[in-house]
């Protein structure tokens, strides 16, 4: 899952620096990630759980909740060898399904992967399955993604999904991100992405976001600005054009 790979490469980097590591994974939409964060609590037995309340749930510049709030929960385990596994759940709402008897109301994701570090370079690979329980139409799909990071500042993620939203078309995503630490436990994140698929209008679109996050003990606060050239409400969701998203996440 591209949405978590940036977090994984940060985790591998920090495991080499401390005995007991508190990994801050930024909130929904920070950097190139569009999912909620997870925290790893130790390099050997890295169980973690987290909850996020956000004013919107963005995914590649598209709102998955029709520009409404979302409550998201996740559990995550990272082994000292670099392997990780987890699950994540969120409410969703799609305007194109308003008249459907059983619309998508929940997204449930499962993922497994591996993270690796060598000097200034870090890598994470993820296999993820996106599912929508109880929906009358099957939209489930599987995605493989990989992220390369350099010095915990620069990131590139490549993702590929086949049978996207249970159709025959595939999808390819590219995302570039820069993250920079600031005083008072804050971080600045900027990301630019492109999503290519015959499932979207004109076959591709660009999206970007910029924002700042602050950690306060177990809490992470995030304020982020989103924009995209995609302008059509579709089964993908509602485009986040010139939109602000605020989130708060708590490590359980």
DSSP 138-160: ---EEEEEEEEEETTTEEEEEEE
pLDDT-derived band at 99, boundaries 50, 70, 90: confident
pLDDT at 167: 77
| C-alpha span between 30 and 57 (Å, rounded) | 12
Number of domains in the chain: 1
pTM assigned to the model? 0.84
Task: Say if residues 101 and 136 touch (Cβ distance below 8 Å).
Answer: yes
pLDDT tens string 129-166: 999 999 988 899 999 999 999 988 999 999 999 888 77
pLDDT at 196 over 70: yes
Nearest to residue 31, comparing CAs of 206, 161, 180, 238?
Answer: 180
pLDDT at 7: 55
Write down the mean pLDDT value for the chain.
84
Burial class of residue 42, CB neighbours in 10 A (0-12, 13-18, 19+):
middle
Mean pLDDT lowest for which of 13-27, 105-119, 219-233?
13-27
Query: How far is the CA of 130 from the CAs of 38, 48, 87, 96, 138, in angstroms?
Result: 18, 21, 10, 19, 11
- Span 78-96, average pLDDT: 94
- Which domain covers residue 101, as residue numbers? 2-251
202: number of Cβ within 10 Å:
9
| C-alpha span between 147 and 177 (Å, rounded) | 11
Radius of gyration of the chain (CA): 17
| C-alpha span between 108 and 87 (Å, rounded) | 7
Beta carbons within 8 Å of 81's beta carbon, 6+ residues apart: none
| C-alpha span between 250 and 101 (Å, rounded) | 34
Share of the chain above pLDDT 90, in %: 66
Of the two residues 121 and 36, the one the predictor is more confident about is: 121
What CATH code is carried by the domain that includes residue 194?
A: 2.40.160.40
CA trace torsion 5, 151, 216, 21 (10° rounding) = 80
| C-alpha span between 168 and 32 (Å, rounded) | 26
pLDDT at 100: 87
């Amino acid at each position: 899952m591209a949405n978590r790979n940036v977090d994984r490469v940060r985790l591998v980097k920090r495991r080499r620096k401390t005995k007991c590591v508190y990994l801050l994974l930024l909130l929904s939409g920070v950097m190139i990630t569009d999912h909620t964060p997870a925290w790893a609590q130790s390099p050997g037995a890295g169980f973690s759980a987290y909850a996020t309340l956000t004013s919107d749930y963005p995914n590649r510049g598209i709102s998955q909740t029709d520009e409404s709030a979302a409550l998201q929960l996740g559990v995550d385990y990272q082994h000292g060898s670099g392997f990780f596994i987890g699950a994540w759940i969120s409410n969703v709402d799609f305007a194109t399904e308003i008249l459907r008897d059983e619309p998508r109301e929940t997204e449930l994701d499962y993922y497994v992967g591996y993270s690796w570090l060598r000097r200034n370079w870090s890598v994470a690979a993820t296999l993820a399955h996106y599912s929508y329980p109880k929906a009358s139409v099957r939209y489930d799909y599987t995605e493989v993604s990989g992220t390369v990071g350099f010095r915990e500042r620069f990131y590139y993620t490549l993702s590929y999904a086949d049978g996207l939203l249970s159709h025959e078309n595939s999808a390819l995503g590219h995302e570039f991100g820069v993250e920079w630490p600031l005083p008072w436990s804050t971080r600045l994140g900027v990301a630019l992405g492109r999503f290519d698929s015959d499932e979207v209008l004109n076959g591709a679109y660009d999206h970007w976001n910029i924002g700042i996050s602050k950690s306060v003990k177990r809490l992470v606060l995030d304020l982020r600005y989103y924009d995209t050239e995609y302008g059509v409400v579709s089964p993908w969701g509602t485009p986040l054009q010139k939109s602000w998203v605020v989130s708060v996440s708590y490590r359980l």
